[in-house]
Structure 1
Amino acid sequence: MVGSKFLDLSHNIISGIIPKSLEKLQNLKYLNVSFNKLNGEIPSGGPFKNCLSQFFIYNEALCGSSRFSVPACPTPSKHRSNRKKVLVLFILLGIALVFVPSIFVFLWIRYRRGKRAPQQPDSLAFITRERISYYELLQATEALSESNLIGSGSFGSVYKGVLRSGTAIAVKVFNLQLDVASKSFDTECEVLRSLRHRNLVKVITSCSNRDFKALVLEYIPNGSLEKYLYSHNYFLDIFQRLSIMIDVACALEYLHHGCLSPVIHCDLKPKYGLDGLVSTKCDVYSYGIMLLETFTRRRPNEFEGDLSLKQYVSYSIPEAVMDVVNVNLVTSMGNRYQKELDLVASIMKVALDCCAESPAGRTNMKDVVGMLQMMKIQLLAF
């Protein structure tokens, strides 16, 4: 991409800002990002000095130089900022004066009631205020019928269910025969209270008693990645596979770097870890194996002896990438064929970097997201 002179990214529904780093691409003569959802300031250096205004039309909120026919970027006003701070302070004081006494009254009433009510032996812990009873979950999943089984994980199984309201749900039931499963349930409940990301399944509530612990999740109807990889009724092209894996990487980046303290997923399929220690590096390793599986369509457990999926790929990259890549994934002709082949080889290299033997040698999810997103832009430019 560094040596490319023409880059047309128009009509691609790209959001976010235009990276200022593109100013360094001195050889770039033509850049068209019109008809997208970009915002923020248009860079003014490097190739942007010669760009025409029509290359930036029909975006959400671009700003910058008047020669691009966009409004000037707003400049922060210290005086306006101070006025806003004072206004917010008065609003917060007003809210406090109204609600703080009410909260004390509410807590006092609850305290009085708690002293009169006997302690329940079976507890229900809910992440939201919506209440779903144990019996309603049984009814929704047809008594955890095997026909409703979606899949199994390290600590339990997931079932599809339909509530009386017609809402489809996924119920993750923990295997309480495993001591770690009970601890995992309590940990997940605590962690999931604060997680908010578009690529993470939303938690509706949780249900718990002495003999049953479950999380009630939003049901995702499109099925698993495994279905799309191994079913003969579906075929994912390079762009679709790369987009899916970028979404997974973004979710892991949020868990590892976007929370107050790192959250370890520890249940990616397949679940791999050679160091024996639970850390974010375990997730990175598992993600790398998942990325290899996505582009080779080879299951990690199908190899015999000392050969592994990681070794199978590393022996063929980059010279013989077609020997390991999913059949018919690269079908282009001429110059585009070689570009797609090189791109897949680069993706495999990222995956192998995630699977380094030493945890310290593995890349982090922030870098993975950045590299894969750049490859996606390259693919669009072919």
Structure 2
Amino acid sequence: MSIGANNFNSKLPSSSWRLIKLDHLNLSKNLLHGFLPSNVEALKAMNIMGLSFNKFIGEITYSVGSLQNLVSLDMSRNAFQGPIPDTFRNLIVLEYLDLSNNSLSGTIPKSLELLRDLKYINVSFNNLQGEVPKNGVFANINYRFLMGNPELCGLPDLHILLCPAQGSSRTRKKSLILRITVTLVATCLIFVMLFFTWMIWSRKKQVIGNNGLDSLPRMGHQKITYYELLQATENFSHSNLVGSGSSGTVHKGTFSSGTVFAIKVFDMQWQGGLRRFDSECQILSNVRHRNLVKIVSTCSNKDSVAMVLEYMPNGSLDKRLYSNRNCLSLVERLNIMIDVALAMEYLHLDYAVPIVHRDLKPANVLLDQDLTAHAADFGIAKMLAQDGNIAQTKTLGTIGYIAPEYGLDGQDSTSSDVYSFGVLLLETLTIKKPTDDMFRGDLSLHKWVSLSFPDAVIDILDADLVRDIGFTRG
């Protein structure tokens, strides 16, 4: 929902805070006023909230701390008063926080140090006082994000005086003289920093739009033109081809900045190409987990649509398992399986709406430079209804990895991913695909493994894995 950069000058309707599935809200650059209601906590799915450049008043409600999916929060340029709520410590995935140019008072909560993902915080030009926290996001904070709060103390390296202790009037007098001197010097520095900040902002403005959701700080997301994709991939040359499938191709792209991304181009001639693109965008733009591939941007024109994703230099698990030069040790294989399990746990249990991947297989498990696994290819993933665990759908997925009962009945549930994970685990340890020619009739991969227990387990394991463990067959 984006109504930014208009001249709306009313209070927000109470119904605005009952949109429980809303994940982006941009109200910036209006004349909206009134209090922020306590029932804002109902917006559980909220990722990005922009309230800047309005006339909101009163205290920031403590219920904002209940929005645990919040990644970006911009409340700058309003008339908020009172303390910064200590409940902000619950915003565990927060990356961007701007509370500048308000009338906030009290101290900066020390609990903000604990927000490990927080990369940016701006509390300048308020009435804050007391000691500035030292750790977390504050460890490398710039003075311009704290200035305009004359009662802050504790960072002499940033020309913010040491916090006053009980002492003589002479000491306080020296402190006052020092503060005046530092203020004069800091004022000159501020003008210099503002000039360079303005130059940087002017350049960024060419990349990031002024209105709509793109005006909100979206961490890691950026606009990339089709021309830039052509340059990065050398016109999608075969030498940069990473992989291909029914829905399109994936290319390695090296941009002018030196950054490498994966460019997934969807085949618009294929009937389901646009649907796969829409589905993958919907899923990846809403989920955030270290074991899921992150979306950087999208790009489209009349002939094609493409998705820019983080690049995985070690390729897919499928290629690593079946490459003679890249044998994975037992520990590496187990760590990869744990990573995939954590990704599925997040999709099934930790996200607001359960998500079924529906196509879990080695080709869709990608490995970064540290061999950390990331689940990928959400083109046929499905969000399940809130009120039930099973959804009827057209059967999709890859033969051999689909649970038989779901292939026959056309039912989706998180259990189908659990079955696929089991097949994935067996294949990783045995280097046998579930579609191998040996599996005919009643014999399947999991039945073949079951029959090996307890005496012949060593005979079904991958030979490289056996050598790594140190066992001998015989």
Interval containing the TM-score (normalised by the shorter chain): 0.5 to 0.7
- 1:250 equivalent in structure 2: 342
Identity among equivalent pairs (%): 47
Tell me, yes or no, if structure 1 residue 320 matches structure 2 residue 456. yes
What do residues 170-202 of structure 1 show as CA deviations (whole Å, max 9, x unaligned)?
Answer: 011122233333122122222222321111122
Task: Write the mapping of 1:1-382 to structure 2, written as runs, cut at 5 A.
Answer: 87-89=83-85, 98=102, 130-153=222-245, 155-269=247-361, 271=398, 272-273=401-402, 274=404, 275-276=406-407, 277-304=411-438, 305-306=440-441, 307-331=443-467
Q: Which amino acid aligns with 1:189?
A: C
Give the whole-Å Cα distance in 2 for the aligned partners of 1:130 and 1:319.
56
Preserved contact between residue 153 and residue 267 of structure 1 (Cα < 8 Å): no
Structure 2: gaps of 5 or more residues: 1-61, 67-81, 89-97, 104-209, 213-217, 363-397
1-structure distance, mates of 2:287, 2:263: 18
C-alpha spacing 1:236/1:97, structure 2 compared with 1 (3 Å) = closer
C-alpha offsets along residues 327-382 of structure 1, whole Å, 9 cap, x if unaligned? Answer: 1523589xx969xxxxxxxxxxxxxxxxxxxxxxxxxxxxxxxxxxxxxxxxxxxx
- Specify which structure has the bigger relative contact order, considering alpha-carbon pairs within 8 angstroms and separated by 6 or more residues: 1
Higher helix share: 1
Contact 1:158 1:173 in 2 (8 A): yes
Q: Distance in 2 between matches of 1:160 and 1:317?
A: 43
Mapped to 2, the partners of 1:229 and 1:264 lie a distance apart of: 25
Q: Secondary structure at the match of 2:466?
A: coil
TM-score, length basis structure 1: 0.52
2: distance between equivalents of 1:175 and 1:162? 22
1:202-261 CA-to-partner distances (Å, cap 9, x unmatched) read 211011223211110111112222333222223222222111111111111111111111
Distance 2:255 2:276 in 1: 25
CA distance in 1, matches of 2:239, 2:456: 43
Equivalents in 2 of 1:257, 1:174: separation in Å?
30
Is the 1:154–1:267 contact (alpha carbons within 8 Å) kept by the matching residues of 2?
Answer: no
Q: Which residue of 2 aligns with 1:119?
A: none
CA contact (8 A) 2:327 2:464 kept: no
Query: For residue 280 of structure 1, what is the amino acid of its counterpart?
Result: T
User: CA–CA distance in 2 between the matches of 1:301 and 1:190?
Assistant: 31
Structure-2 change in CA distance of 1:98 and 1:91 (3 Å): farther
Distance 1:263 1:127, change over 3 A: farther
The verdict on how the C-alpha distance between 1:302 and 1:127 changes in structure 2, with shifts beyond 3 A counting, is: farther
Corresponding residue pairs, total: 231
For 2:355, what is the secondary structure of its paired residue? coil
Residues 129 and 300 from structure 1, CA distance in 2 versus in 1: closer, same or farther, beyond 3 angstroms?
closer
**Do the aligned residues in 1 keep the contact of 2:426 with 2:446 (CA within 8 Å)?**
yes
CA contact (8 A) 2:330 2:468 kept: no
State whether residues 127 and 205 of structure 1, in contact with CA within 8 Å, keep that contact through their aligned partners in structure 2: no
Q: Secondary structure at the match of 2:435?
A: helix
CA separation of 1:228/1:188 partners in 2, compared to 1, >3 Å: closer, same or farther? closer
- CA 1:285 to 1:91, structure 2 compared with 1: closer, same or farther past 3 Å? closer
Check the 8 A contact 2:221/2:296 in 1, yes or no: no
SS in 1 for 2:465: coil
SS in 2 for 1:215: strand
Give the aligned CA root-mean-square deviation in angstroms.
3.7
Q: Once the 2 structures are TM-superposed, how far is the Cα of residue 88 of structure 1 from its aligned partner?
A: 3.1
Gaps of 5+ in 1: 1-80, 100-108, 112-125, 339-382
Q: 1:293, CA displacement in angstroms?
A: 0.8
Where 1:188 maps in the other structure, the secondary structure is helix
Q: Specify the SS of the correspondent of 1:330.
A: helix
CA contact (8 A) 1:131 1:205 kept: yes
1-structure distance, mates of 2:281, 2:436 = 35
Distance 2:342 2:87 in 1: 36
**CA–CA separation in structure 1 for the residues paired with 2:86 and 2:240:** 54
Structure 1 residue 287 displacement after superposition: 1.5
Alpha-carbon separation, structure 1, partners of 2:341 and 2:240: 29
How far apart are 1:147 and its partner, in Å?
Answer: 2.4
Aligned partners of 2:347, 2:419: CA distance in 1, in Å? 15
* SS in structure 2 of the partner of residue 179 of structure 1: coil
